[in-house]
Structure 1
């Protein structure tokens, strides 16, 4: 049975029920009153009184506060009550009757009281006041109005949740948030505006290192599953995800699930899942920007959608001369990226959708090598005199995708998607050595989804087949999985239960039986949310997640042979507990959570006594480790001119039990994990067209990436950066200017003592124009 309009939002108070039941009668009474009032003629008053002027202002203000989204709740009647209290200051008898004879349990009667009161004022009101009252009546249309609580829906999941009732910790960023940030690439947005810790991967800003919830900047990206429209983009080796291939202008929303998502995310979703959803609309925009270091950026999105087809074309072209010298000839670490994506969807009948897509990405980038501490302190832009020299990468990616979506009936739908991805990476080193690899990925994902009332059920199959031919030979890693995820919502209660079964198969060179192995992994989610009202909720979640080793972790580097098979590693197993609270109001969105993760077999790289090339150095497992922390998010609209957003995380990552090569690491801190991360954005709107933005990023010190023994003389220094921007928007165009790292703060990535990769160490500026049509 279809629920009454507005009752899907749990407004089951006695007042709301009475409002709905009396709606038809009241509509008739109000229509009669409006018809009568429009035909009345009033004589102009010879003398106007101050109370009537105040009354007119009050009614006009009340009418403008009421929004157009209709819902049978008490919010509108609360506004009417406030209005009546003000009115009855000038009519004591009515004030007494109202409170003496009415219980207040049927809010629509307040409307009736107001109508009668207006009629009694007939001969002493001006025509302007009457029409103000009529405007109030017509706007409300006998339907209560509610304030938008800004609880954003979660689109990547089929569970029909939002920020308030979801039984998990989640961050959501919309296309509007990305537009306001004026970023050149997706990694830049994630680094400056989300709770993620992000640093360029040894100088590579297009495929950055990621960390969330204390898994470390070195291996954090392997513990976060990233999907674009459902397609998995994680690699089977140590190479981070190529996030820069996604045009910021093409993104509709980014949803970051923290500590959950293993059931649908799959292998590696220990820290969480990042779902990126691209646009399917009629918007068209072009953004052009120029900046320091001869930086240029072009970002384009063109979309067209109707009942039959949906087509979108996005492109991102980025070029910069870089910020570092790489040799004595004045060459710099210049970088170029070009990415083009075409998506097409056809709806031949109402219940069927056919999807097609193709994308091409090309990266040509030069990366400077590491510096000693003295070199870094003296001039972080220099090439360095003691390192092995710069390297150049030529990286090309092509992706084809297709899919079908079919609505079997109103409650049941079926989805199946297939994608094929081919990559070629060639790294040329200063010595002339070329390391070339070719990758092939095939991803098949199918799901059957049921949703009716408060029940949601999704079951699916997934295959993710990866191959690399290059470093270490020809190696396959194939994952096959099946999952079931259910959610039940009753009034204020939401319960989610899910399970995933996954098998990972390894094979090297496809001939050596000794280098074949398979692992079975089990994932589960159990979560509960209690929503107190339309503003407050709390949740508790448990997740059993896992991660199988990537193929680089099975190899050891032997000079000059290259990658040689070492041994297989047992999968990681993680139990994560999260307790959270949400408070979402009209002007303030507050979310906080605490978490604890218990890990078995966490992957890490043990560095031998003499360094990376020590015979004892290898990839291995930590027997037992743990992580715990606090997460905080608050977005506060101070007034019409100022609003502020703040994020803060506190994380501790400990090695509880591990002995390697006779060295006891128990009690040490996992390297590359800062205790404190804070980000704040202040926006000032001096007028309707202009926005001034101040952004501050801070991360505390941490142990260098290779310092598992916590005994290096140098630590990863704190990260600090201040950005400022100004934006002017008028009609369909936007002009912006931005300064990054306003105070010239030096920042770097510490690998070990005297091995530092400088990042974001220089002030740079950017100015641009965006057109929307």
Structure 2
């Protein structure tokens, strides 16, 4: 069975201006790292962690996009998920639960996008081992120092699920001020209310931070209200050549489940619900300890993390009421060591992860666990204007599920190993032109929910593998930077939900290993300082996703827009005023499950417009913002042909006050 926080769980319960952007991109030269407006005082403090160790900006991960805290402030973004979508240009689908946790999709993986990328916070996996998205809403936006988006296969360093790429969120370290903080209050339509507070204190080598937030909203749709509370606290002791720290992150989230609509129902009233009694909650607590220490040319680092999560759901239908509780725990220990000597950087590390989940419901009593142990090695050589990196990973998985419930089909035990490798290189042809290329193998394994609903009873799915290749170039300087990437991924045994397959209950719908598929396309990124007051950035993605073999060979994959464009312009006149305007155009998509491409319609494309204006009065900033200003009625989630539709939100206006000290 699927976790209740997967949109598919809802579905099964109910079913037993391209030319303009190209012209703009051609007009200005730009880069993969578009956050170049950093103040000189901050540049030395900006680091990237593409090698799982801190690095200076000039050796950022090859082909990566970096979003800084300044980028976030300039765009007026108020949550991490929105920053990734609006500034990073990553496609996202509306949350089915009224929360800020949109399904993010790197490189066209549709309904399983969240399972094909890894999201980390300070090196700890936030990605789930079940069909639910990573709770980015639990990360306070004011605590974020930077976000790294590494597109393409990255399993050598990050393991299972890093087929489409990795998103790494790095939180801030205390600065030089003894006491600092930010308080933000926000009100908006649909009874939106949010209060955030961030506080940091420094005592010599010891620093502490505390973040509190609460958000309440009725949201656009009926029975889609959300109430979320977060608390995050950290303590760091820095000493000669090292540091020790600990962090606690806790989130409490409750929301109503508005459920899916048919196309006719959406056209009649996209705000309606057919499930007025359905609701759920998630309680998450994460405890992390970390350390790093330098010994001359050697550096050692490690994180130890424990996450406890309880998810509850209630569904009411004509068949009766159903309640479920999912209790899961995850422990991760990731020690590693690095040697940097004469332009050579060697990294060796281990990842040990244990995850378990117990289900208590009328339909399942599954007790499932997954243990994985991995060792990886990566060596990067830098000489003259070139960088070459090679790496490999071996990971052993031990998956067990026991379900004593009647008619259960998810009892199994399986042990297997997987390999990943990569070869990357870049060469600075001139000070303003850099070429890069990457190739490798990545993998992902079926999670507990996918293995719980398969065509053959008590038989888990085969691992998914992908062979990836990418070439690209960056051109320009700190003010005008342009990046282009061309990529292709060939996948075998892609793990996906097929509504036409027969499950072990002899009904329709099952998680399966698909016939071979591929993703290929081109990505363009632009960032330019148009004038002293105006900055512009844009992302364009053209993507083809299709079957390469089997009965659907040549057919397009589902819920993948062929074209995606996002554009943002910032006005920063340095007189206390600021403004941001963002536009996104998403091409049409095939409805979910339409592998044969026979549905007589497609999900319509759409264009949305967001804007924000702010005025500062000393330490106080007042702002007015709006999303979907054209009040476009559209949807980005639809799991059946003209059905299984989860509408996106209409226009919403908000006012906010922010005080920084």
Same fold (TM over 0.5): yes
Query: Following superposition, which runs of at least 4 residues in structure 1 exceed 6 angstroms of deviation?
Result: 67-70, 148-152, 510-514, 609-614
1:519 corresponds, among 416, 419, 423, to 416
| Counterpart contact for 2:97–2:255, Cα < 8 Å | no
| Counterpart contact for 1:165–1:531, Cα < 8 Å | no
Name the one with the larger strand percent: 2
Please say if 1:220 is aligned against 2:113. Answer: yes
| Counterpart contact for 2:410–2:458, Cα < 8 Å | no
Residues 357 and 510 (structure 1 numbering): CA distance in 2 closer, same or farther, change over 3 Å? farther
**Equivalent-residue separation in structure 2 for 1:609 and 1:352 (angstroms):** 54
**Equivalent-residue separation in structure 1 for 2:258 and 2:345 (angstroms):** 51
**Equivalent-residue separation in structure 2 for 1:180 and 1:191 (angstroms):** 15
Please say if 1:493 is aligned against 2:493. Answer: no
The Cα of 1:341 is off from its aligned counterpart by: 0.7
Within a 5 Å distance, the mapping from 1:111-510 to structure 2 comes to 153-158=47-52, 166=60, 168-216=62-110, 218-282=111-175, 283-305=180-202, 307-325=204-222, 332-347=223-238, 349-384=239-274, 388-407=275-294, 409-431=295-317, 432-470=321-359, 471=364, 473-509=366-402
Secondary structure of residue in 2 paired with 1:634:
strand
Q: Deviations over 1:436-495 (max 9, x none)?
A: 110010111000111233111111111111111015600011111001111110110101
The Cα of 1:513 is off from its aligned counterpart by: 12
**Equivalent-residue separation in structure 2 for 1:687 and 1:429 (angstroms):** 52
**Equivalent-residue separation in structure 2 for 1:472 and 1:767 (angstroms):** 46
**Equivalent-residue separation in structure 2 for 1:669 and 1:601 (angstroms):** 16
| Counterpart contact for 1:741–1:760, Cα < 8 Å | no
| Counterpart contact for 2:67–2:87, Cα < 8 Å | no
The Cα of 1:612 is off from its aligned counterpart by: 13
Q: Which runs of 5+ in 2 are unaligned?
A: 1-37
Secondary structure of residue in 2 paired with 1:219:
helix
Which residue is 1:738 aligned to? 625
Secondary structure of residue in 1 paired with 2:583:
strand
Residues 513 and 315 (structure 1 numbering): CA distance in 2 closer, same or farther, change over 3 Å? closer
Please say if 1:603 is aligned against 2:495. Answer: yes
Please say if 1:725 is aligned against 2:612. Answer: yes
The Cα of 1:425 is off from its aligned counterpart by: 0.4
Q: Deviations over 1:203-261 (max 9, x none)?
A: 45344322111222x10111101110000111111111111111111111000111143
Secondary structure of residue in 2 paired with 1:236:
coil
2:473 corresponds, among 554, 559, 581, to 581
Which residue is 1:646 aligned to? 538
The Cα of 1:158 is off from its aligned counterpart by: 5.0
**Equivalent-residue separation in structure 2 for 1:552 and 1:190 (angstroms):** 27
Which residue is 1:666 aligned to? 553
Secondary structure of residue in 1 paired with 2:157:
helix
| Counterpart contact for 2:412–2:458, Cα < 8 Å | no
Within a 5 Å distance, the mapping from 1:507-656 to structure 2 comes to 507-509=400-402, 515-556=412-453, 566-608=458-500, 615-656=507-548
Q: Which has the larger radius of gyration?
A: 1
**Equivalent-residue separation in structure 2 for 1:683 and 1:532 (angstroms):** 31
| Counterpart contact for 2:48–2:61, Cα < 8 Å | no
Q: Deviations over 1:29-62 (max 9, x none)?
A: xxxxxxxxxxxxxxxxxxxxxxxxxxxxxxxxxx
Residues 457 and 390 (structure 1 numbering): CA distance in 2 closer, same or farther, change over 3 Å? farther
Q: Deviations over 1:484-507 (max 9, x none)?
A: 111110110101011111011111
**Equivalent-residue separation in structure 2 for 1:484 and 1:726 (angstroms):** 48
Q: Deviations over 1:592-641 (max 9, x none)?
A: 11101111111111212899997242111123111111011101111123
Which residue is 2:27 aligned to? none
| Counterpart contact for 2:402–2:411, Cα < 8 Å | no
**Equivalent-residue separation in structure 1 for 2:138 and 2:169 (angstroms):** 12
Q: Deviations over 1:667-693 (max 9, x none)?
A: 211101100010001223455321222
The Cα of 1:394 is off from its aligned counterpart by: 1.5
TM-score norm. by structure 1 comes to 0.74
Residues 257 and 703 (structure 1 numbering): CA distance in 2 closer, same or farther, change over 3 Å? same
Secondary structure of residue in 1 paired with 2:514:
strand
Which residue is 1:760 aligned to? 648
Q: Which runs of 5+ in 1 are unaligned?
A: 1-66, 71-147, 326-331, 559-563, 659-663
TM-score norm. by structure 2 comes to 0.87
Q: Deviations over 1:63-87 (max 9, x none)?
A: xxxx9989xxxxxxxxxxxxxxxxx
Name the stretch that deviates more: 757-766 or 523-532. Answer: 757-766
**Equivalent-residue separation in structure 2 for 1:557 and 1:694 (angstroms):** 46
Residues 167 and 234 (structure 1 numbering): CA distance in 2 closer, same or farther, change over 3 Å? closer
Q: Tell me: higher relative CO, structure 1 or 2? Use CA pairs within 8 A at least 6 residues apart.
A: 2
| Counterpart contact for 1:720–1:747, Cα < 8 Å | no
| Counterpart contact for 1:208–1:241, Cα < 8 Å | no
Which residue is 2:31 aligned to? none
**Equivalent-residue separation in structure 2 for 1:306 and 1:544 (angstroms):** 46
1:676 corresponds, among 546, 563, 587, to 563
Matched length: 608
Residues 645 and 514 (structure 1 numbering): CA distance in 2 closer, same or farther, change over 3 Å? closer
| Counterpart contact for 2:48–2:148, Cα < 8 Å | yes
Residues 204 and 468 (structure 1 numbering): CA distance in 2 closer, same or farther, change over 3 Å? farther
Residues 634 and 161 (structure 1 numbering): CA distance in 2 closer, same or farther, change over 3 Å? farther
The Cα of 1:557 is off from its aligned counterpart by: 8.4
**Equivalent-residue separation in structure 1 for 2:277 and 2:538 (angstroms):** 38
The Cα of 1:186 is off from its aligned counterpart by: 1.8
The Cα of 1:644 is off from its aligned counterpart by: 1.1
| Counterpart contact for 2:346–2:377, Cα < 8 Å | yes
What is the root-mean-square deviation of aligned Cα atoms in Å? 2.8
**Equivalent-residue separation in structure 1 for 2:60 and 2:387 (angstroms):** 8
